[in-house]
Amino acid sequence: MKTDTIAFIMEGRRQRRLRWMLVTGILSLLTCALCCAMLYLGNTVYPVKDIVRALTGEQIKGVSFAIETIRLPRVLAGLFAGFAFGIAGNTFQTMLRNPLANPNVIGITTGSSAAAVFCIVVLHTSDTFVSVASVVAGLITVLLIYALSRGRTFSIGRLILVGIGIQAMLNAVISYLLLVSAEQDIPAALRWLSGSLNGSQMHELPTLMITILIFAPIVVALGKHLSILELGEQSAASLGVSTDKTRIALIFSSVCMIAIATATTGPIAFVAFLSGPIAKRLVGVGFSNAIPAGLVGVVLVLAADLVGQFAFEVRFPVGVITGILGAPYLIYLLIRMNRKGDL
């Protein structure tokens, strides 16, 4: 290969790396700013120095309770759940080469929610068992969708349509469970369905944090292989990628993250759906956008929660705001894909 050609390729790679670093840096700064705003804003606005003292463990009357019990758990829940939804949604969309193929649209989060609601209103189990059941149900939903969508040849469009059908069926199951459940169980069950940071508690967060810290590095480490999988089954195999093992590791990691995030905050609508396309538009092609997609998920959740809390006279759950943002994009995407014959 000529020297000029090599220099041209290296220059293009350097520019793409700089763009990736710039986008990731800006998203990180935006995340920090939103976290600070959520700690600062509330029914009572405390001086910044008192908030810092409360965060360092100093007991200040009124401030410590508001920061440690209400605002900090809310920030951490939004931070880790948003990252989980963003990185998991991007993984499914990239691996299946279709923006509709994300856990919200094909029913994986609905499977986790249905299992959680069943445990809450029928079995009355502990929070730990509910979390385990949501993960298992998410994995079973993936296997069921894959099994029902298999034909002579694998079709992503068929997989998406099967997923939408299973999601509708699971929603019917959830509606039936709520209809026959005791009145006192309904609030806890609705928490799984609306997607909200309200009532987040510090003791609920260790499981979510540990899950993200274990599985997010796996998804990031497999980011190079994920980009190759985007080229297609045969191309990936010819480049030496073990497609089955890589796909299983990515699906298992993503489902565990999104199921535990759903167990903590409920299925916050459209975050997994929007994060990947936004990150891809910002970063461009050539580098894995797993981390930027996770950060976009965090920004969406935290910003939507601030809007839901303070932009209207009535406070709305974060899932309502993200639903308003995501629904028009979903309709636009369906119309565009139908015109191109991708559905």
Give how far Cα 207 sits from Cα of 210, 212, 214, 321, Å. Answer: 5, 9, 11, 26
DSSP-assigned states of every residue in 196-216: --TT--GGGHHHHHHHHHHHH
Q: What is the pLDDT of residue 191?
A: 67
> Cα–Cα distance between 211 and 91 in angstroms, integer?
16
Q: What is the pLDDT of residue 153?
A: 63
Q: Residue type at 261?
A: A
The 10s digit of each residue's pLDDT in 216-268 is: 999 888 877 777 766 666 676 776 667 777 878 888 888 888 888 887 887 88
Q: What is the pLDDT of residue 1?
A: 58
Architecture of domain 76-340: Orthogonal Bundle (1.10)
SS3 45: coil
> Cα–Cα distance between 291 and 86 in angstroms, integer?
9
What pTM was estimated for this model as a whole? 0.85
> Cα–Cα distance between 87 and 83 in angstroms, integer?
6
DSSP 66: I
Query: How many Cα atoms sit within 13 Å of 107 on the Cβ side?
Result: 27
Domain boundaries, the chain: 76-340
Q: What is the pLDDT of residue 341?
A: 63
User: What burial class does residue 88 get, using C-beta atoms within 10 Å of its C-beta: 0-12 exposed, 13-18 middle, 19+ buried?
Assistant: buried
The 10s digit of each residue's pLDDT in 96-122 is: 777 777 777 778 888 888 888 888 888
Nearest residue to 251 (alpha-carbon basis) of 119, 108, 154, 121: 108
DSSP 30: H
- Residues of the chain with pLDDT below 50 are none
